Amino acid sequence: MQAIVLVGGFGTRLHPLTRNVPKQMLPVVDRPMIEHVVAHLAAHGVTRVVLSLGFRPEAFSDAYPDGICAGIPVHYAVEPEPLDTAGAVRFAALAAGIRPGNESASSAGSADDVSDTFLVLNGDVLTDLNVTAMVAGHRAAGAEATLALTEVDDPSRYGVVPTDAEGRVLGFVEKPDAGSEPSRWINAGTYVLEPSILERIPAGRRVSIEREVFPAMAAEGSLHAVQSDAYWIDAGTPEAYIRAQLDLVDGTRGDLPAAHPSSTVDPSADVQRSIVMAGATVGPGAHLLNSIVMDAATVGAGAMVAHSIVGPGAHVGEGASLTDLTVIGESESVGAGIELIGARVPGDS
């Protein structure tokens, strides 16, 4: 089976870390985010991944010049212009040789070698979703499209997806007022699709799969969904980017080392639930709490970094204080004694 991973966005919610780097190429503890995504797909039998690219596609091709990511082949489909989610799916599917009907083929093999059914997922979602079971349910239902749903505490921030007893999607309720939502199950950003869906996506313009294609299918009764209580996080905000990494080191989702072997942490530093990446330095008496210190960054003596991110090669001066989701961009410096609360350095111009 092939999977299309949507990685073409600008990642504005993670600025300034994403000013020059696609968010899926940002590290998550020990490797780029995209490798976590692809490795999960490989574990569920996906044999080829198509990266739907837009912003800085060379970041991916330079990182995986042999066309192998997390052990499986990747194909690069670079949009000539932003096409939104459905347009991106159509463009990437056609580039990968996926066609409506029985015309599906791939440069990796003949039509008999590749399943027509394919996956689509958002590249900034980290999940333990049982993709194998989802595909099996999709096929058992004879569905044209199936989307995964995840339950959240506050659905007012998302679009709620009510379903009937057979799993058919009844519609979409965008950002309902607290207390008025029909459920707490939201679109989790993973889809199982049949090639026929490509006929529903007009060529030559931006088309949203969430706002245009899926609602039309729901109105027809041809869209299905499966609920999953598996781990799920949209890592596209500073808060979630931090949490996704801490979950991988504190036992919530894994127990990876929190400090890279090549990092230097002074014995007098107080490091609590924080990630210190390769080549980073944490000085004497520094305090880290629920924070990320990225590759080759330095945190000076006595500095405080709490619930914040220090970007690659950035420097936090002695006695400085970073709190409340402050994000320091690549190679930026924060002077000694400076206090930043919820800041972005540099800010957007």
Residue 101: predicted pLDDT: 64
Phi, psi of 14 (to 5 degrees): -105, 15
Q: How far apart are CA 202 and CA 216, in angstroms?
A: 13
Pick the closest to residue 52 from 78, 32, 15 (CA basis): 78
**Residue 229: helix, strand or coil by DSSP?**
coil
CA of 138: how far to CAs of 45, 150, 192, 234, in Å? 16, 17, 7, 23
Q: What are the catalytic residues?
A: 175
- Quote the pLDDT of residue 110: 39
β-pairing, 292-293 vs 275-276, is: parallel
Amino acid (1-letter code) at residue 15: H
What tokens were used for 283? 């000085």
Which domains, from first to last, does the chain contain?
Answer: 2-234 (3.90.550.10), 257-345 (2.160.10.10)
Q: In this predicted model, what pLDDT tens digit does every residue of 95-140 receive, in sequence order?
A: 999 988 644 333 333 334 445 899 999 999 999 999 999 999 999 9
Q: pTM for this structure?
A: 0.92
d(CA 22, CA 221): 36
Residue-level pLDDT at 52: 95
185-193 and 118-122 strand pairing = antiparallel
Burial 166-201 (b: 16+ CB within 10 A, else e): ebbbeebbeebeeeebeeebbbbbbbbbbbebbebb
Question: How far apart, in whole angstroms, are the C-alpha atoms of residue 235 and residue 206?
Answer: 25
> Which residues are bridge partners to 132 per DSSP?
none
Residue 152 exposure: Cα atoms within 13 Å on the Cβ side: 19
Distance CA 10, CA 236 (A): 11
Enumerate residue ranges in the chain where pLDDT < 50: 102-114, 349
Tens digit of each residue's pLDDT (9 = 90 or more) over 304-339:
999 999 999 999 999 999 999 999 999 999 999 999
Dihedrals phi, psi of 158, to nearest 5 degrees: -130, -170
pLDDT of residue 241: 98
Residue-level pLDDT at 111:
39
Structure tokens at 213: 């294609």
| 261 CB-contact burial (10 Å; exposed 0-12 / middle 13-18 / buried 19+) | exposed
Partners of 228 in the β-ladder: 150
